[in-house]
Amino acid sequence: MDDFKTWLQKMQLLCTHKEYCQFEIHQKLKSSNLNSNLIERIDEQLKEQQYIDEDRYIRAFVHDKFWLNRWGKIKIRYALQQKQLPEGKIEKVLNEIDDEAYIQHFTSLAKAKWKSLKNLDARMRQQKLIRFLLGRGIEYEIAQKITQEISA
């Protein structure tokens, strides 16, 4: 019982500083060699006390990765899938990103990249820009559209 309270308090403190999903908490507890029964009990308590909330986590993750890290929907989706979060919830939050803001966000990023691609012929610049945008995790069609707009 003492182990339970100690680890619960540690995880509660951790969750007050930053959003965590269930998968991340499980990883932290497993790395401390706690038995699965204890991990499940701690997990239930954290959910019950709303220290862990999948919807809140996904929303915060999408916001931060899109606006701060400038990740596209593909890269964000993949990262959230790695954390074993429900596909439906991921899609719901990703669909809330305004399409116009999404394109505008990456157009400004692409313009800055385009300026840095000097001393190359037009075709090579376009290819490098598309690869750059794909690496950011945006859809191919959008990357192509943005590249055509900028290079015109």
Q: 147 pLDDT exceeds 60? A: yes
Is pTM beyond 0.75 here? yes
pLDDT in tens, 119-131: 889 899 999 999 9
Long-range contact pairs involving 99-102 (C-beta distance under 8 Å, separation at least 24)? 102/66, 102/72, 102/73, 102/138, 102/142
Separation CA 92–CA 94 (nearest Å): 6
Contact call for residues 150 and 107 (beta carbons, < 8 A):
yes
H or E segment to which residue 5 belongs: helix 2-17
Residue 37: its pLDDT value, please?
A: 92
pLDDT in tens, 17-74: 999 999 999 999 999 888 999 999 999 999 999 999 999 999 999 999 999 999 999 9
Contact call for residues 7 and 42 (beta carbons, < 8 A):
yes
Residues 6+ apart with CB under 8 A from 71: 65, 79, 136, 137
Residue 146: its pLDDT value, please?
A: 97
Contact call for residues 33 and 47 (beta carbons, < 8 A):
no
Residue 62: its pLDDT value, please?
A: 98
Residue 143: its pLDDT value, please?
A: 97
CA-CA distances (angstroms) from residue 77 to 48, 82, 105? 26, 9, 18
Grade residue 1 by pLDDT with cuts at 50, 70 and 90: low
